[in-house]
Amino acid sequence: MANILDYLVWRGDLSFKNAPFNEVDNLILTQLAFMNFDEIMENDRVLPLREVEKRFFQKYDKATFRLGIYFPAGMAELLSLCAKSCRFGDVLVTMPINLIDRDKKIQFGAMTFLLPDRTVYCAYRGTDDRLLSWYESLSLGVYDELPIHTLAKEYFDTVMKTYRFRKCYVGGHSKGGHLAMYAAMKANPRAQKRIRKIYNNDGPGFRYDVSGDPAFLNIQAKIVRVTPSMSIVGAMLKHHTDEEILSSDGEGVFQHDAFNWHVSGTAFVRLDKRTEESYRLEKSVNAWLGKMSDTDKERFLDAMYTLLTASGAETLSEISEDKLGSAYQFGKTLLSFDKETREVVSRAVMVLLKERRLILKKEKEVSKQMKKQKKTSDEESVSSSDEGTV
């Protein structure tokens, strides 16, 4: 099946004047938002994407460029195809930001695209390869408000003030989709009216219930929430919008990879529902979070982050490159925790496993009951048929 790279090959020669902005364009821009354009644009307020690409690969080797082992190798190809296309080459890039603060545990990235039809796309970066970024994403299930929420709102406010006469789209992939919803929800009513659509591409929902919040109700109809059939990240926390299920080539967690999403023409390939495994995992995680106190969640999160960074690694890639050394450091660090913290970590893991076993057991019982009912129905049908031939 085709993906976003194929889309660029097929439709890259069509300008936005000839073919209006669509959901696949949205996904492409959210992937470009993962790349650091701030350094090559530090002396320029606005640059065409083709010039950004030229400078980017003067700084980085295109043949070996990777954002991390959990990111597709196609990111470099995506940037080049966009830059060389009629559709995206003249799109203007502006206001790139890449903020990393290890002390405050902040990873925030965003950039804005000025489209030829005079609309604006405000794109928020999702979770990247940094352990800090994963810590921050998991924190969405522990804290109602994080520093990235304030940064997301302030960034969107600045975009709307800078381009005050333009309609806009706002979106992101993974954590970026969550931030897009939050920023749009917190924007003033006049800015909200200028939003055409809010794209949450397999991003988590909210920790708290926003269904009755007037600010959320103002934007609810504009939210487009898409998730692959085996959604993990996008199934997290509370959602108050319908999900649209997409077909994906990925296995398990790699369905989250946007390069695996199937594209047909100007749209994603839709499915009727997610996989049973995805629904089971969603139930397990929600049950686990529901049974832990906020204090236990905080200590569990901090303990896991300490474990992951014990080897000196700053990214998931670095951990994978030295599994044995990292495993040794994990165990050594776990033993260094006080007894109470070790118990919290152990209890959290056990609760998750227990909830998962209970859900599987219940589903087996339901399946067994359904098979029994079907067998009874079939026997009654055969009996009825025999009586009719006498």
Q: 201: helix, coil or strand?
A: strand
Same domain, 241 and 323: no
Identify the pLDDT of residue 137: 66
CB 113 within 8 Å of CB 120: yes
Please check whether residue 385 lies inside any domain of the structure. no
In order of 281, 315, 321, 348, the CA distances from 310 in angstroms are 28, 12, 14, 20
- Percentage with pLDDT > 90 across the chain: 41
The H or E element containing residue 263 is strand 263-264
- In the predicted structure, residue 390 carries a pLDDT above the cut 50: no
Whole-angstrom distance, CA of residue 29 vs CA of residue 91: 10
Same domain, 237 and 349: no
Domain ends where: 233, 255, 274? Answer: 274
Identify the pLDDT of residue 352: 47
Read off the pLDDT of residues 216-268 as tens digits, 9 standing for 90 and up. 899 999 999 998 887 766 667 777 788 888 988 877 667 778 898 999 999 99
Q: Which residues contact 16 (CB under 8 A, 6 or more apart)?
A: 87, 115, 116, 117
Please check whether residue 386 lies inside any domain of the structure. no
Beta strand 106-114 with 263-264 is unpaired
Same domain, 285 and 269: no
In order of 169, 231, 268, 292, the CA distances from 128 in angstroms are 22, 18, 23, 27
Identify the pLDDT of residue 132: 62
Question: Using 50, 70 and 90 to split pLDDT, how confident is the model at 354?
Answer: low
Identify the pLDDT of residue 231: 72
Number of domains in the chain: 2
Domain ends where: 233, 250, 274? Answer: 274
Per-chain mean pLDDT for the chain: 81
Same domain, 196 and 71: yes
Read off the pLDDT of residues 22-51 as tens digits, 9 standing for 90 and up. 999 999 999 999 999 998 898 789 999 999
pTM above 0.85, yes or no: no
| Average pLDDT value for residue range 59-77 | 79
State which residues form the domain around 108.
4-274
Same domain, 325 and 306: yes
Please check whether residue 381 lies inside any domain of the structure. no
Question: Using 50, 70 and 90 to split pLDDT, how confident is the model at 327?
Answer: low
Same domain, 286 and 348: yes
Read off the pLDDT of residues 152-210 as tens digits, 9 standing for 90 and up. 999 999 999 999 989 999 999 989 999 999 999 999 999 999 999 999 998 888 877 88
Residue 9 burial (C-beta neighbours within 10 Å; 0-12, 13-18, 19+): exposed
DSSP structure string for 19-46: S---HHHHHHHHHHTTS--TTTTTT-SE
Please check whether residue 36 lies inside any domain of the structure. yes
DSSP structure string for 341-364: HHHHHHHHHHHHHHHHHHHHHHHH
**Among candidate residues 50, 197, 176, the one with its CA nearest the CA of residue 111:** 176
Domain ends where: 274, 302, 318? Answer: 274
Whole-angstrom distance, CA of residue 373 vs CA of residue 52: 63
Whole-angstrom distance, CA of residue 169 vs CA of residue 151: 18
Other beta carbons within 10 angstroms of residue 103's beta carbon come to 5
Q: How many residues does the chain have?
A: 390
DSSP structure string for 204-233: --BSS--TT-HHHHTTGGGEEEEEETT-SS
| Average pLDDT value for residue range 138-147 | 77
CATH of residue 84: 3.40.50
Please, what sign has the CA dihedral across residues 177, 95, 40, 87?
Answer: positive
Beta strand 46-48 with 243-246 is unpaired
